[in-house]
Amino acid sequence: MIFRMPIRFALFGLIAIAARAHASWTVAQADTPAAAIHDAQMVQVEVGQRLAINDIVETPSNAGMQIQDETGENVLALGPGTRVLLARDAHIALLRGWIKALHACSAAVNCAAPVVDTERGRYTLGNHATIVVASSPPGYDDADAVFCESGSVSALSLPNAHGRLAAVQLSAGQFAARRASSPSMIEASRPDGAFLAAMPVAFRDELRALSPAPVAHDKPSGTARPVAYDDVSDWLQSSLTVRTQPGTRFTDRFRVRLSDPAFRRDVDAHLGTLPEWRVLLHPPAPRIVPSATPRSPASSVPPVYRSLFLRP
C-alpha cells in the first residue's frame, strides 16, 4: 500500500490536468440567444449553455456574446455576425467575424492556450495575453488581422498561391494583417484605421471572466432541426483545416444528412468545390476480378512416366 499511494495520487493528478486542458466552454453573457450547430443539428443557445466539443456557434448580426471555460482562465468574446467552431484543447476555427480572446493561465498551471485558426492564419496566445482577431468581417472584408492588446501572440501566416508560410511574434500594442491579395503578412506598431473602425465597440473594454451562470445546463433550449445545406455551405467550402482534419472532418460529421434528398442534391451540385464528397455520392463501381480459367482434369494430372522416344 505504501508504494501504491503515490501512483494513485499521480493518476488523480493526471485526470485533473486533463480535465483542465479539455475544459468546456459555457455561455457567460449573450445579448440575445445565438444559433449553434451541435453534431448535425441546428439548435439555440443562451446564457448558461455548456457547449460541446466541435459545436459551431453563430452570433446574430446585431449582437455578440461571451463564452469562457470553467476556470475563467480562457475567455472569448464573439462579435456580431461571428461564426466559430470550438474544437478540442481550446482550438477555435474562426470562419468569419470578430474574436477577442483572453488567456489568463500562468506558466505554472497546465491549461491549454487558445489557438485561433482562420483561412489565412493561425494565432496562438501566450500566457496572460489578450488579442483581437478579425476574419473578413463587414467593413474589413478583404483581410485577416490580429491585434495584440497585452502579452504576446504567435502569428502564423498560412501560404497561398502568392506566398509562403511565415511566422511572426507580436507583443503588446503590435498588429499584423494579411490581405486577400497580399503575398505576405504586414506588421505594424498599431492597428490600421479600417481595423479600428470596423471593430465592435464592446472590444474596446477590458476582457475579463464573468461570474458563472446560476444554472448551467447541457441541453440546448428550443427545438432542434437537422441542418440544411445553406446552414453549413460556407463551412463545407472553406479552406479551414477543420474541414478535412481527423476529429473535425466535415464528411464524417455531416454525411448523415445525405439521406435527405435536398441536402444530397445541393452537395452534388457543388462537387467542384467539395471534391472530398464525390466518393460518398458516387462511389466507384466494385472492381470485378476475372476468375482463372479452369484447367481440364486431364491436364491437371501429372504424367506418371516420362515420354519415351523410340528409335527404329
**What pLDDT score was predicted for residue 123?**
96
**What pLDDT score was predicted for residue 214?**
65
**What pLDDT score was predicted for residue 44?**
93
**What pLDDT score was predicted for residue 51?**
94
Tell me the CATH number at 143: 2.60.120.1440
Residues 157 and 268 in one domain: no
Residue 293 located in a structural domain:
no
Q: CA-to-CA distance for 306 and 300, rounded, in angstroms? A: 16
Helices (H), 3-55: 4-21
**What pLDDT score was predicted for residue 238?**
96
Residue 247 located in a structural domain:
yes
Residues 144 and 276 in one domain: no
**49: closest CA among 212, 211, 216, 210?**
216
- The residue ranges of the chain whose pLDDT is under 70 are 1-23, 106-109, 159-165, 183, 213-215, 221, 292-312
b/e string for 180-206 if b means 16 or more Cβ within 10 A?
Answer: eebeebeeeeebeeebeebbbeebeee
**What pLDDT score was predicted for residue 8?**
41
**What pLDDT score was predicted for residue 18?**
41
Which amino acid is present at 236?
L
Residues 62 and 164 in one domain: yes
Residues 190 and 272 in one domain: no
182: containing domain: 23-204
**Do you know the residue count of the chain?**
312
Residue 41 located in a structural domain:
yes
**Number of domains forming the structure of the chain:** 2
Of the CA atoms within 13 Å of residue 132, those in its CB half-sphere come to 23
Residue 260 located in a structural domain:
yes
Residue 209 located in a structural domain:
no
DSSP state of 189: S
Which distant-in-sequence residues (6+ apart) come within 8 Å of 93 by Cβ? 84, 85, 87, 117, 118, 240, 241, 242, 248
**What pLDDT score was predicted for residue 312?**
47
**What pLDDT score was predicted for residue 155?**
93
Residues 233 and 200 in one domain: no
257: its cell numbers: 444528412
Of the CA atoms within 13 Å of residue 240, those in its CB half-sphere come to 27
Q: CA-to-CA distance for 102 and 37, rounded, in angstroms? A: 24
Q: CA-to-CA distance for 84 and 148, rounded, in angstroms? A: 20
Residues 200 and 250 in one domain: no
**What pLDDT score was predicted for residue 233?**
97
Residues 244 and 195 in one domain: no
Q: CA-to-CA distance for 167 and 154, rounded, in angstroms? A: 7
Residues 233 and 196 in one domain: no
